A and B are shown apart, each in its own frame.
Chain A
């Protein structure tokens, strides 16, 4: 296969120098399409999904589609692993469990993530998403990621 570095890992190296974490999202087509990007304006790495009409899953309430909340929690976990840990490969998701706590209104969704347990090959990550009030999360997730390239199954 190619000897070129993965575009995302190459981007990570640039971002480590510039500090502009939002640029990480530019290397991921799906993150661009969903308008999901990390930010660290407050010194804490957060991931924001900018509201746009294509996120709606229920036009009557209206509410953001649950699948997009799961997706942004997964992206928040990935950005956290890239930025806050020493991973040398793009983390590969093994599984994710999303709990839906409240319906998400048509405004931005923000998420934070933390590593619950770091192993040599596997990490367990917890992520939480909220809108206006951080004390009232709309969804939480637990996910496992493989962080070594050699025995990589899954997706990202």
Chain B
């Protein structure tokens, strides 16, 4: 029997449960996992009236994008871990390069490009479907081996093959 995590669709189902449906804030935002493989994760945030920052224009607030980027970068870290360990965001920078278009879903794509003993390094972009036309860019670092119970998604890195 091969691991179900080798199948891209089942991987999405698995990460959807553990990186969105069981995390109250991610669930409240309605984050949808749309792709996941080793070193990479992609999530979607649908436009909703409650997430608007400027009621005059209907443009999303910065906050939902921050939460989306943090979650997506974190998920990319989880795909890289070969042994179970909890981790936490150390810092996160977001550049808001243009306003999100009202009514359109935002897609985040995060890459975890380096993992050391204590720190994982990630980069991410958010866009409306064309990665060449970004809405926001992010750089996040994560501290590995922080306190707290190990959660299931943080144990499966070794099982996720490209």
A154–B26 CA distance with the chains assembled, in angstroms:
23
**A34: shortest Cβ distance to chain B, in Å?**
7
Residue A94 is within 8 A (CB to CB) of chain B in the complex: yes
A32–B51 CA distance with the chains assembled, in angstroms:
9
User: Quick check: B59 and A156 within 8 Å, CB to CB?
Assistant: yes
User: Quick check: A33 and B99 within 8 Å, CB to CB?
Assistant: no
Interface of A is mostly: mixed
Residue B148 is within 8 A (CB to CB) of chain A in the complex: yes
* Count, chain B residues at interface, CB 8 A: 46
As a 0/1 sequence over residues 84 to 117 of chain A, the CB contacts with chain B under 8 angstroms (1 = contact) are 0000001001111111100100000000000000
Residue A75 is within 8 A (CB to CB) of chain B in the complex: yes
Q: Which of A38-46, A66-74, A126-134 has 4 or more CB atoms under 8 Å from chain B? A: A66-74
From B23, B91, B98, residue with most partner A Cβ within 10 Å:
B91
Selected contact of A96 from candidates B62, B147, B148, CB within 8 Å:
B62
A54–B24 CA distance with the chains assembled, in angstroms:
5
Interface residues of A in 1-27 (CB under 8 A from B): 2, 6-8, 27
Interface of B is mostly: mixed
What B residues does A67 contact at CB under 8 A? Answer: 25, 63, 66-71
From A55, A63, A100, residue with most partner B Cβ within 10 Å:
A100
Find the B residue at minimum CB distance from A67: B67
* Count, chain A residues at interface, CB 8 A: 46
A63–B70 CA distance with the chains assembled, in angstroms:
14
**A11: shortest Cβ distance to chain B, in Å?**
10
A74–B92 CA distance with the chains assembled, in angstroms:
13
User: Quick check: A56 and B24 within 8 Å, CB to CB?
Assistant: yes
As a 0/1 sequence over residues 51 to 79 of chain B, the CB contacts with chain A under 8 angstroms (1 = contact) are 11111100111111111111100000000
From A8, A34, A59, A103, residue with most partner B Cβ within 10 Å:
A34
Selected contact of A94 from candidates B59, B69, B96, CB within 8 Å:
B96
What A residues does B97 contact at CB under 8 A? Answer: 153-154
Interface residues of B (CB under 8 A from A): 22-28, 49-56, 59-71, 88-100, 146-149, 151
